[in-house]
Amino acid sequence: MMLQASRARNALPVAIVVALGVFGGIAYSENEVRPINDLPNPYRTVRDWGHPPNGAPWAAVTAVEVSPDGSIYVIHRCKDNSCAGRPEPPILKFDASGKLLKAWGEGMFVFPHGAIVDAQGNLWVTDAQIKDGKGYQVFKFDPNGKVLMTLGKAGVASAEPGLFDEPTDVAVAPNGDIFITEGHTGGTKGNDRISKFSKDGKFLKSWGKHGSAPGEFDSPHTIALDSQGRLFVGDRSNNRIQIFDQEGKYLDTWRQFGRPSGIFIAKDDTMYVADSESWGKDEPGWKKGIRIGSAKTGKVNLFIEDMESTTEDHSGAEGVGVDAQGNVYGAVVRRQMLEKHIKKPN
């Protein structure tokens, strides 16, 4: 575990040396982390990759996920920032060149939000608002758009086991267990918890409540698994990542990746964290962008700075995905765009 602030102050010098050795010479305090912005950016950015069907513009782009076969799924909110009553498909499937292969989901969603592609190539998408009897559900699709599973009850907000209030993101373990974060608006709106289901959709347990103590949440916006099976939860309104085992045991808190809206962890435990909202008095000195580091050590190594990294007029990328070539995709909500960050030649 990373050093907590109180432990760091009270630890003996020998213990500090040992801890620093374990974490590559860097200790991260729970409460005191300096802004991490001045890092290399080995990418060039393309903003004309992939287009919705029929010449339509992008709506708010919320998630981008890469399938094991190399297909790239982009989730956007139909028209502007909502799919309620809209005819456009929110789920778009592209090949690696940006050619649109398939689109679906018309009439199914109110506010599509988080997504993941599991090891079998199935796509999971959450719906984080309700309207007209729809929303607050999580859908599992096969690669052709067929619905394989639906969790939650359409149009119902509830803290009851197996139901949702603002489901924001989803992660799927290698054994098929499903983990869903709830709570998007921040404050006391939403359940501010993690719910766990079996691979066949049976509710198993939930943990968390609104707050800022370890194991509590304020807008748990994103969730991802590392190679050890640990859960990394982007506790956005608390400006931190919390780490748990799959039974809900709290393990650690990291603040060095900024204000996390999206997390992607590669097979080698390279971690990509989209910080879309670091601005203003609550995050002094921090810039918006995608921080790239290690889920093993917590060290941040690279930073893709947002095009408007310090302004409050627009948010940066909320969702982040990475293809097999190491290209990074950013899903941008307020500016309604998809960004592709291509690795520069060495």
* SS3 track for the chain: CCCCHHHHHHCCHHHHHHHHHHCCCCCCCCCCCCCCCCCCCCEEEECCCCCCHHHCCCCCEEEEEECCCCCEEEEECEECCECCCCCCCCEEEECCCCCEEEEECCCCCCCEEEEEECCCCCEEEEECCEECCEECCEEEECCCCCEEEEECCCCCCCCCCCCCCCEEEEEECCCCCEEEEECCCECCECCCEEEEECCCCCEEEEECCECCCCCCECCEEEEEECCCCCEEEEEHHHCEEEEECCCCCEEEEECCCCCEEEEEECCCCEEEEEECCCCCCCCCCCCCEEEEEECCCCCEEEEEECCCCCCCCCCCEEEEEECCCCCEEEEECCCCEEEEEEECCC
**pLDDT beyond 50 at 85:** yes
pLDDT recorded at residue 249: 99
Q: How far apart are CA 178 and CA 171, in angstroms?
A: 6
Residue whose structure tokens are 């940006």: 98
**pLDDT beyond 70 at 227:** yes
Q: pLDDT confidence of 15, banded at 50, 70, 90?
A: very low
How far are the Cα atoms of 65, 155, 305 from residue 291, in angstroms, in the given order?
17, 35, 8
**pLDDT beyond 70 at 26:** no
Q: pLDDT confidence of 77, banded at 50, 70, 90?
A: very high
Q: What is the pLDDT of residues 106-130, one digit of tens each?
A: 999 999 999 999 999 999 999 999 9
Q: pLDDT confidence of 23, banded at 50, 70, 90?
A: very low
The dihedral through the CA atoms of 272, 276, 281, 282 has a sign that is negative
**pLDDT beyond 70 at 98:** yes
Q: Is 124:169 a contact under the CB 8 Å cutoff?
A: no
**pLDDT beyond 60 at 259:** yes
**pLDDT beyond 70 at 229:** yes
Instruction: Provide mean pLDDT across the span 91-108.
Output: 98
Instruction: Provide mean pLDDT across the span 323-341.
Output: 96
Single-letter code of the amino acid located at 274: A
Q: What percent of the chain has pLDDT over 70?
A: 90
Joined together, the tokens standing for residue 294 give: 């290690």
Q: State the CB neighbour count (10 A cutoff) for residue 87.
A: 9
Q: How far apart are CA 25 and CA 272, in angstroms?
A: 21
pLDDT recorded at residue 59: 98
How far are the Cα atoms of 160, 164, 167, 180 from residue 157, in angstroms, in the given order?
9, 6, 10, 15
- When mean pLDDT is compared across 73-77, 182-186, 268-272, the lowest value belongs to 182-186
pLDDT recorded at residue 311: 80
Q: pLDDT confidence of 154, banded at 50, 70, 90?
A: very high
- Name the burial class of residue 303, with classes exposed (0-12), middle (13-18) and buried (19+) by CB atoms within 10 angstroms of its CB: buried
The dihedral through the CA atoms of 221, 73, 171, 77 has a sign that is positive
Instruction: Provide mean pLDDT across the span 135-143.
Output: 99
In DSSP terms, 79 is beta-bridged to 82
**pLDDT beyond 50 at 184:** yes
pLDDT recorded at residue 19: 35
Joined together, the tokens standing for residue 286 give: 């921090």
The residue extents of the domains of the chain are 1-32, 35-343
Strands 72-76 and 91-94, by their bridges, are antiparallel
Q: What percent of the chain has pLDDT over 90?
A: 83
For 162: left if phi > 0, alpha if psi spans -120 to 50, otherwise beta; the answer is left
Mean pLDDT of all residues belonging to the chain: 91
Higher pLDDT, 344 or 254: 254
Q: pLDDT confidence of 314, banded at 50, 70, 90?
A: confident
The CATH number corresponding to 35-343 among 2.120.10.30, 3.40.50.1110, 1.10.1200.10, 2.40.50.140 equals: 2.120.10.30
Single-letter code of the amino acid located at 284: P
Q: pLDDT confidence of 28, banded at 50, 70, 90?
A: low
Instruction: Provide mean pLDDT across the span 134-146.
Output: 99
**pLDDT beyond 90 at 189:** no
**pLDDT beyond 80 at 80:** yes
